[in-house]
Amino acid sequence: MPYQPIKFYQTGSFVVGNRLLDQNERSVQSDTERLNSLTSGHRACQGCGEALGARYALDAVAKATGGRMIAANATGCLEVFSTPFPETSWRIPWIHSLFGNAPAVATGIAAAMHAKGRDDIRVVGQGGDGGTIDIGFGCLSGMFERNDDVLYICYDNEAYMNTGVQRSGATPPAARTATTQAVGPNPGNVFGQGKDMPRIAMAHEIPYVATATVAELRDLEAKVERAMSFRGARYIHVFVPCPLGWGSSSNDTIKLARLVKETGLFPVFEAEHGEVTAVSKIRRRIPVEEYLRPQRRYAHLFGEHGHPETIERIQALADRNIARYALLDDLPDSLKPPGSAVGRQVRWQSEDLSEQTSAMAILTETTGAH
Amino acid sequence: MPNKPFAITLNVGSSLANKTGSWRTERPVYVDRLPPCNNACPAGENIQGWLYQGEEGGDGYYRAWHQIMLDNPFPAIMGRVCYHPCETVCNRAQLDTAVGINSVERFLGDEAIKQGWTIEPDAPPSGKKVLIIGAGPSGLSAAYHLTMLGHKVTIADSGRAPGGMMRYGIPKYRLPRDVLDAEIARILDMGVTLGLNRTVRNVADEMAAGGFDAAFLAVGAHIGRRAYIPAGEAAHILDAVSVLRSMEGEQKPLLGRSVAVVGGGNTAMDVARTAKRLGATDAVVVYRRTRDRMPAHDFEVEEAIEEGVEMRWLSTVKHADAGKLLIEKMVMDEAGFPQPTGDFEELEADSLVLAMGQDADLALLDGVPGIEADDGVVKVNQAMMTGHPGIFAGGDMVPDDRTVTVGIGHGKKAARNIDAWLRDSRYEPGHKHEVAHYDKLNTWYYADAPATVRPTLDIARRTSTFEEVVGGLDETNALYEARRCLSCGNCFECDNCYGVCPDNAVVKLGAGNRFEFNYDYCKGCGICVQECPCGAIEMEPETI
């Protein structure tokens, strides 16, 4: 794992900093001199996960590049809340063009820098899940297949939040959005649709693909640093809760990002050249209910007229991820995917899995030492 | 507008002009909550505070020791004989196992003796003189704190050596005498006058004769309580206090090959274990109730049994004769009281030791006006003062639990009140913060102990003896143990609030100075409160 192994079990590597750590072992965010690439006064909602994720990621890029960087931003919350004319929250060179063309703009900047002999200046493209997975998908795929020298970061809050919480290709099944209302026999977003963008990126066999959440800062920073060690197309997919769109408390933003990983619904892993190279294990496994219940977008699944069968289907999705990415420590041999590489072409039947994974649940006491 | 690019009509500005703090309806504030360990400590130690210092290692050990010394002058003794109520309430117990506070304290105390650390009084001389009667834990603690506060202290003790019950009640296998001597010497070296073999007959006369401005009575409770047991002439019956006291003299008590001890407290365990060490083949504790009703601490009972002490629950001694006892079996009635059954059996015993509690010798108070005693103990008010102005009392001779730590706590409390009384003021204890219970913590952030460290720690915890762990590991163990502290309710500068704020509204003030909020930009989302591992931030409503 990309974690720093830290030998304090007071807080281990889970907190942002620690006064007992050597300076060079501390996170970028714990530094009093950190860049704050996205500075105060931005108009993001209270408890915005995306604002947090963007600062985490871009501060780490700035650290890795010595500040020689340019960011191209797709239209979306991040762009709107950071730059209402004539104010800007950005303390880095930053450009916004259109909703769907951020990867292409980033490619162009990288090409221009190369032409000017300034390959030392690194380019980041970024956007929300709508701008990345739906509207900018063609541009992004092109950027990947040409292996342009860009790190593209997607801040995934699972819907079009800026325009009023409409469904995107990243909206999870059963979630209520403005366009997938909680009505009818199968309320909320339908099962079996949407795109698994990290896996699509992996299918392009680009040098580096990673997923991360705002709940694990050190993991996210390590992945950004790793990504900046490659040339060519790189993709990081960051899970960022949205209190407004999800109907969650503003103070639960990090908690939800932590819970989603602990359920297995959002696998946290790294892949290089199309192969998974590392997964972040589940530390304290929990059922999906614990993640779903605090969010009003799933409120229709609970209570007297709830849909327990839908919750079971969501649980099956989590279980499938757990098996596919081997998210639990000490999997019994019978449950280990064949071959050494985790997650390769393993087709689990989710019906069988629910039985097997309940056995796995017993084994979830992990050490937490990474 | 000649200087602006195409289509740009306004100067570019920073979003810092946008004070998003105005969105807020609640504001986060940093708080200090009272850690459960501190709350439970009878000596009022700031345990979280000294673990925080100690976990730095190196110079941190001295600062940790110094922090203990502010409340308790006996860390090395505490680390051996304290029943550590702190560990019983430790929040970490709900996560994995309680922090081994006692063993860390012992490590720090031993380190101080090894390094010869001393402490200087921090107040100018007051010119006042205080008489302390009794050089036990309570009296010595009061002497130390009064000296620190600038007063001149004289102690009178009837014993041949100072320490009271720490010397004459606690067996050597629990408290080596070199440790006891070292910690007492450190107090005496601060300028305390100690008079040994001095039994005070009347405290008021003594004060007048010596020109003392105040007195603190801490004579303890040394008289073993007797119970009427019909006995034959040749029966060998002793009381526990005398047995333990005579262990300090030249003549070890003659207990014989088989010893029966009546009672269920820690003293009964001490005597039974001492008898075993003196060579008794059989040491039997006779107790009239069941084990769960025993006042002795569980680990003392456990260790006694491990050492081969036999327990007779629901039993009482009916008759004692030379070499044998008549035991009657008891049964618990519905109200929880033991009732005789009429079933008898014999038990071989060369001697019978009574460990049924102790009383204080209050003869020195005879004729002192205003002092009230009830049921063998002296009445004191909130300020530890007896009914006679200027005469204070504490330790085993006043109503409370009778442990070394409670006595030390009394000494400190009395010293502060005596100090206030001598300065014609009142001692006001500081406001107690709300207790930091487990539900205030975000335990996600506390890492589990790496498997490789755990076995060594278990050994350290079980034996509570750092010397017994393989050489060179002792400091590492202490450090690890200190670092297991969750710092409940008190910021330990993990940088979480600083990192997790989406609005960069937390200002990091640098090592030792914690953090502050920038309310110009804090939107009041509350993430910092939720993600603070130790519960040191809370939300409060904005006032309009």
Q: Could you write out the DSSP letters of every residue in A263-295? A: HTSS--EEEETTEEEEE---SS---HHHHHTT-
Please state, in angstroms and rounded to a whole number, the distance separating the CA atoms of residues B240 and B261: 8
Please state, in angstroms and rounded to a whole number, the distance separating the CA atoms of residues B236 and A230: 88
For every residue of A342-362, DSSP letters joined together read: TTSS----HHHHHHHHHHHHG
Please state, in angstroms and rounded to a whole number, the distance separating the CA atoms of residues B465 and B176: 12
Confidence grade of residue B471 (pLDDT, cut at 50, 70, 90)? very low
Q: Map out the domains of chain B with their CATH numbers.
A: 15-32+491-541 (3.30.70.20), 36-118+444-481 (no CATH), 129-222+360-422 (3.50.50.60), 226-358 (3.50.50.60)
Judge whether B222 and B176 are in contact, CB under 8 Å.
no
Q: Do A42 and B498 touch (CB under 8 A)?
A: no
Range A35-287: architecture per CATH: 3-Layer(aba) Sandwich (3.40)
**In b/e form, how buried is each residue of B401-428, taking b as 16+ CB within 10 angstroms?**
ebbbbbbbbbbbbbbbbbbebbeeeebe
Q: Is some CB atom of chain B closer than 8 A to the CB atom of A290?
A: no
Judge whether B80 and B117 are in contact, CB under 8 Å.
no
Tell me which chain B residue has its CA closest to the CA of residue A259: B444
User: pLDDT digits over B197-212, tens only?
Assistant: 999 988 999 999 999 9
Identify the residue with better confidence: B4 or B539.
Answer: B539
The dihedral sign for the CA sequence B336, B340, B343, B347: positive
Q: Do A254 and B531 touch (CB under 8 A)?
A: yes
Instruction: Give the other-Cβ count within 10 Å of B272's Cβ.
Output: 29
Q: Do B530 and A251 touch (CB under 8 A)?
A: yes
Q: Do B520 and A40 touch (CB under 8 A)?
A: yes
- Interface probe, candidates A4, A7, A15, chain B, greatest B C-beta count within 10 A: A15
Q: Is some CB atom of chain B closer than 8 A to the CB atom of A213?
A: no
Judge whether A263 and A283 are in contact, CB under 8 Å.
no
pLDDT value at B542 more than 90: yes
User: pLDDT digits over B248-268, tens only?
Assistant: 877 788 888 999 999 999 899
Under 8 Å CB pairs connecting chains A and B tally to 181
Instruction: Give the other-Cβ count within 10 Å of B139's Cβ.
Output: 31
First to last CA, chain B: 43
Report for A83-87, B92-96, B503-507: range of highest mean pLDDT: B503-507
Closest C-alpha to B135, from B54, B197, B83: B197
Q: Do B15 and A32 touch (CB under 8 A)?
A: no
Q: Which of B11, B20, B508 sits opposite A86 (nearest CB)?
A: B11
A270/chain B closest Cα distance in angstroms: 23
Q: Tokens 């890492």 correspond to what residue?
A: B447
Q: Which of B450, B504, B520 sits opposite A9 (nearest CB)?
A: B450
Tell me which chain A residue has its CA closest to the CA of residue B539: A251
How confident is the model at residue B67, as a pLDDT? 96
Please state, in angstroms and rounded to a whole number, the distance separating the CA atoms of residues A71 and B146: 67
Identify the residue with better confidence: B76 or A22.
Answer: B76
**Mean of all residue pLDDT scores within chain B:** 89
Tell me which chain B residue has its CA closest to the CA of residue A27: B499
The residue type of A203 is: A
Judge whether B359 and B223 are in contact, CB under 8 Å.
yes
A138/chain B closest Cα distance in angstroms: 30
Instruction: Enter the tokens of residue A168.
Output: 């995107």
User: pLDDT digits over B297-354, tens only?
Assistant: 888 888 888 888 999 999 999 999 888 899 999 999 888 889 999 999 999 999 999 9
Q: Is some CB atom of chain B closer than 8 A to the CB atom of A17?
A: yes
A343/chain B closest Cα distance in angstroms: 27
Q: Do A30 and B499 touch (CB under 8 A)?
A: yes
How confident is the model at residue A11, as a pLDDT? 56
How confident is the model at residue B429, as a pLDDT? 87
- Interface probe, candidates A1, A4, A9, chain B, greatest B C-beta count within 10 A: A9
A329/chain B closest Cα distance in angstroms: 14
Residue A232 has, within 13 A of its CA and on its CB side, a CA count of 15
Q: Is some CB atom of chain B closer than 8 A to the CB atom of A7?
A: yes
Q: Do B502 and A52 touch (CB under 8 A)?
A: yes
In B382-530, beta strands by DSSP E: 391-393, 506-508, 515-517
| Angle value at C-alpha B297, between B226 and B158, nearest 5 degrees | 50
Please state, in angstroms and rounded to a whole number, the distance separating the CA atoms of residues B500 and B387: 57
In B171-227, beta strands by DSSP E: 193-195, 214-217, 223-224
Instruction: Give the other-Cβ count within 10 Å of A324's Cβ.
Output: 23
Q: Is some CB atom of chain B closer than 8 A to the CB atom of A255?
A: yes
CB < 8 Å to A29, chain B: 495, 498-499
The residue type of B441 is: L
CB < 8 Å to A81, chain B: none
Confidence grade of residue B479 (pLDDT, cut at 50, 70, 90)? confident
Confidence grade of residue B247 (pLDDT, cut at 50, 70, 90)? confident
Please state, in angstroms and rounded to a whole number, the distance separating the CA atoms of residues A98 and A76: 10
Closest C-alpha to B245, from B161, B329, B328: B161
Judge whether B264 and B296 are in contact, CB under 8 Å.
yes
Instruction: Enter the tokens of residue B321.
Output: 């004769």
Confidence grade of residue B52 (pLDDT, cut at 50, 70, 90)? very high
A193/chain B closest Cα distance in angstroms: 32
Residue B456 has, within 13 A of its CA and on its CB side, a CA count of 20
Along chain A (370 residues), what's the average pLDDT of each consecutive run of 10 residues?
Answer: 45 74 84 94 97 98 96 97 93 96 98 97 97 97 98 98 96 97 93 95 98 95 96 98 97 97 97 96 94 97 93 97 90 43 32 36 34
Q: Is some CB atom of chain B closer than 8 A to the CB atom of A297?
A: no
Q: Is the peptide bond before A172 cis (omega within 30 degrees of 0)?
A: no
Judge whether B88 and B448 are in contact, CB under 8 Å.
no
Instruction: Enter the tokens of residue A143.
Output: 């950027």
Among residues 64-93 of chain A, which lie with CB inside 8 Å of chain B?
82, 85-89
ipTM of this model? 0.86
Instruction: Give the other-Cβ count within 10 Å of B511's Cβ.
Output: 8
Assign B277 to helix, strand or coil.
helix
Closest C-alpha to A155, from A212, A103, A232, A225: A212
Q: Do B14 and A11 touch (CB under 8 A)?
A: no
Mean pLDDT of B404-412: 96
Mean pLDDT of B215-239: 86
Mean pLDDT of B481-485: 86
Q: Tokens 């694990």 correspond to what residue?
A: A216
**How does DSSP classify residue B46?**
-
Domain coordinates in residue numbering, chain A: 35-287
How confident is the model at residue A265, as a pLDDT? 97
How confident is the model at residue B474, as a pLDDT? 64
Based on its alpha-carbon atoms, the radius of gyration of chain B, rounded to whole angstroms, reads 29
Q: Is some CB atom of chain B closer than 8 A to the CB atom of A23?
A: no
Q: Is some CB atom of chain B closer than 8 A to the CB atom of A178?
A: no
Kindly report which listed range (A1-15, B402-416, B512-526) carries the lowest average pLDDT score: A1-15
CB < 8 Å to B15, chain A: 39-43, 82, 87-89
How confident is the model at residue B526, as a pLDDT? 97
Instruction: Enter the tokens of residue A121.
Output: 């200046």
How confident is the model at residue B335, as a pLDDT? 87
Q: Which of A39, A52, A249 sits opposite B500 (nearest CB)?
A: A52
Q: Do B14 and A217 touch (CB under 8 A)?
A: no
Instruction: Enter the tokens of residue B368.
Output: 């002192």
Judge whether A111 and A137 are in contact, CB under 8 Å.
no
In chain A, beta strands by DSSP E: 69-73, 87-88, 94-96, 122-128, 150-156, 208-213, 234-239, 269-272, 275-279
Instruction: Enter the tokens of residue B497.
Output: 């609030």
Judge whether A232 and A207 are in contact, CB under 8 Å.
yes
How confident is the model at residue B374, as a pLDDT? 83
Judge whether A305 and A182 are in contact, CB under 8 Å.
no
A294/chain B closest Cα distance in angstroms: 14
Tell me which chain A residue has its CA closest to the CA of residue B449: A9
Q: Do A9 and B23 touch (CB under 8 A)?
A: no
Q: Do A86 and B13 touch (CB under 8 A)?
A: yes
Please state, in angstroms and rounded to a whole number, the distance separating the CA atoms of residues B65 and B73: 10
Query: What are the Cα distances from residue B470, in Å, to B103, B175, B453, B460?
Result: 15, 21, 14, 10
Identify the residue with better confidence: A95 or B400.
Answer: A95
Tell me which chain B residue has its CA closest to the CA of residue A87: B13
> Residue B493 — left, alpha, or beta (φ > 0 → left; ψ -120 to 50 → alpha)?
left
A86/chain B closest Cα distance in angstroms: 5
Q: Is some CB atom of chain B closer than 8 A to the CB atom of A30?
A: yes
Q: Is some CB atom of chain B closer than 8 A to the CB atom of A369?
A: yes
